[in-house]
Amino acid sequence: MKVLPLDTHLPGVSTLSYGCMGLGGGWNDNPVSQELVQQTHDIVDVVIGSGINFFDHADIYTMGKAEEVFGRVLAERPELRGSIYLQSKCGIRFEDGQGPNRYDFSAQWIEDSVNGILRRLQTDYLDILLLHRPDPLMEADEVAGAFEKLKSSGKVRHFGVSNMQGQQMQFLQRALDMPLVANQLEMSLQHHGWLDESICVNNDDGKAWNFAPGTLEYCQMNNVQIQSWSSLCRGIYSGRDVSNESGATQQTAQLVSRLAAEYGVSPEAILLAFLRRHPASIQPVIGTTNLDRIKACQQATDITLSREHWYSLYVTARGQNVP
């Protein structure tokens, strides 16, 4: 079994991560109900029972309520904190009286955001803080100062990024005296630009791709954990109605189902095994709130796709052969 790069910093971290964006109700101002708290208790139990000990948050998820409802669970079960790893993100600001939707990597916003995250999660520290999306106005030295302050205070133990390319990471890393430990990117069988770009080098087809040149290689060379969001393709290959989708999508759903039967696992496990087969040791983030689907995902850690099956999935999802 592959050891994740993140295991260097978080010993025993699980192969899969649970994404908490679906917790806390809708993206509105409605208060967190006891029913939502109970739902989170049930999800946490199934997640941990499935061998997952890493929980991924962001300050904006359901307008902060995802962290709030998770924090209420931790307050009711404080013994959980020592057995799990918590990650959250900051840097996205919604439209308000001061400006439009925007990104903010200013030291003050990062520090204030972390204080809010810790308050909502009802914990003293984060295992990892990610910068959510690149801020064109980022001052690397200013970010470095905020990171150092948060680390020295014990509020954040490790730092990373999300949706950044390798060159952006390298630029930020030059200002830091601590390693960036993770980069979370949209990667899946459906969202396969990360693979298309790699095989279209020196090919005219490559002109159409702009995923993140060299990012996977940068992360592999620097022991940065790649985390994939939207890993399950929003159910499009694992049970959702695809009768109105493209021929390639329908064929891919059929292939996933066929391979699931051959390997004796769930369709969800095949989708995650596709990501895990890549040499970058990707840590898939799963975000479903369906308890049965969470359990079904765990099976991905029990199989390794053959090279031929991996390529069959990729080529079918592309809808065309490799160049």
Residues designated catalytic: 61
Contact between residue 184 and residue 159 where contact means Cβ atoms under 8 Å apart = no
With b meaning 16 or more CB within 10 Å and e meaning fewer, what string describes 94-108? eeeeeeeeebbbbbe
Contact between residue 165 and residue 215 where contact means Cβ atoms under 8 Å apart = yes
Contact between residue 321 and residue 265 where contact means Cβ atoms under 8 Å apart = no
* Pairing label, strands 92-93, 85-90: unpaired
Q: Residue 56 is inside which H or E element, if any?
A: strand 54-56
Distance CA 126, CA 159 (A): 10
The amino acid occupying position 246 is: S
Would you give the end-to-end CA distance of the chain in angstroms? 31
155: helix, coil or strand? coil
* Pairing label, strands 92-93, 102-103: antiparallel
The number of angstroms, rounded, from the C-alpha of 84 to the middle of its chain's C-alpha atoms is 16
